[in-house]
Amino acid sequence: MSELRVIVVGASGRMGRMLVRAVTEARGTVLAGATERAGSPFLGRDAGEMAGVETLGVALVDDIHSCADADVVIDFTAPAATLHHAAFVAERGMGMVIGTTGFDAEKSQQLTDILVNAPVVMAANYSVGVNLALSLIERAAAVLGEDYDAEIFEAHHKHKVDAPSGTALAMGRSLAAGRGVNLDDVAVYSREGITGARKAGTIGFSVVRGGNIVGEHQAMFIADEERIEINHNASDRMVFARGAVRAARWLSDQSGGWYDMQDVLNLRD
Ligand code: NAD
């Protein structure tokens, strides 16, 4: 495979720095550009130095159009920024790996429309372990059925702005798919006051925010006599960054279309 040239947007963010590190660590992958939002105090700084690796000669810029030519953009920023970067990707005929979460229905539709012809990987969670867990949850839900009450729990650091996490929602969708139902019809996102008894067939969500928790997820299948739990705990964000770079490399062999990590890891039945 020839050299893969990558632009990391939001390169001074928590994930951005990890992504720059993962790009430099991956064989045959080079950093072609790095951006930050207008007004960021980090503009002009070397992306490699910011990421704690060697000087790469790639300075952070606030206009993605001024980056060198590249094959793929990796974007872990915020929904509005991702839409802006998607327009650039579509204009240049590049690929895009999207990690940003928290899109509402309208922005989600805009993103799909902008990237209608591009090769795109979008995943709520780029960890290989989480994606295996999604597959296991779907299988468990299909086998256990609605006799087992299903609950999803997640915990993240105090800076996270959206809830439940994209990964928790993906777990909910896998669980619902295993039961042959639509998550929107059965999800219960909050409980307060006199809620009444648990309604059969619902999928409940609960959320914790605090400290520097990288990401904890749990799917529970609860019957009167037994409980099955599928857990995933991430201890370092590098796990997402390495997965995203793996997705970028995989994407370079694909034609236009939307993919997720189940495709990248060949986990589809
Ligand atoms: P962060 O706030 O630390 O980083 C986001 C960065 O994007 C910031 O540095 C911000 O200045 C920058 N940014 C904003 N607008 C920009 C623009 N127009 N151009 C360039 N840069 C811009 O956040 P984070 O913890 O790194 O998370 C970023 C996103 O990634 C969130 O949506 C988070 O939920 C998601 N995330 C996804 C995964 C996954 O595996 N899919 C894993 C971790 C985080």
How much is the pLDDT for 1?
57
Same domain, 37 and 111: yes
CATH code for the domain of 9? 3.40.50.720
Cβ of 240 below 6 Å from ligand 1: yes
Q: Is residue 269 part of a domain?
A: no
Cβ of 165 below 6 Å from ligand 1: no
Same domain, 115 and 246: yes
- Please provide the DSSP assignment of the chain as one string: -PPEEEEEESTTSHHHHHHHHHHHHSTTEEEEEEE--TT-TTTTSBHHHHTTS---S-BEES-GGGSPP-SEEEE-S-HHHHHHHHHHHHHHT-EEEE------HHHHHHHHHHTTTSEEEE-S---HHHHHHHHHHHHHHHHHGGGSEEEEEEEE-TT--SSS-HHHHHHHHHHHHHHTS-HHHHEE----SS--SPPTT-EEEEEEE-TT--EEEEEEEE-SS-EEEEEEEE--THHHHHHHHHHHHHHTT--SEEE-HHHHTT---
CATH code for the domain of 147? 3.30.360.10
Average pLDDT over residues 222-233: 97
Same domain, 66 and 163: no
Question: What are the tokens at 218?
Answer: 């749990």
**Which of 88, 101, 154 to probe ligand 1 with, by most ligand atoms within 8 A of CB?**
101
How much is the pLDDT for 103?
95
Asked if 217 is an active-site residue, the reply is no
219 φ, ψ to 5°?
A: -110, 130
Same domain, 14 and 107: yes
Same domain, 10 and 118: yes
Nearest alpha carbon, ligand 1 atom 25: 14
Closest ligand 1 atom to 35 CA: 20
Domain that holds residue 65: 4-122+237-264
Q: Is residue 144 part of a domain?
A: yes
| Whole-structure pTM value | 0.85
Asked if 160 is an active-site residue, the reply is yes
What's the pLDDT band for 239 if we cut at 50, 70, 90?
very high
Same domain, 82 and 139: no
Average pLDDT over residues 39-63: 97
How much is the pLDDT for 208?
98
Q: Is residue 32 part of a domain?
A: yes
Q: Is residue 70 part of a domain?
A: yes
What's the pLDDT band for 124 if we cut at 50, 70, 90?
confident
Average pLDDT over residues 104-123: 97
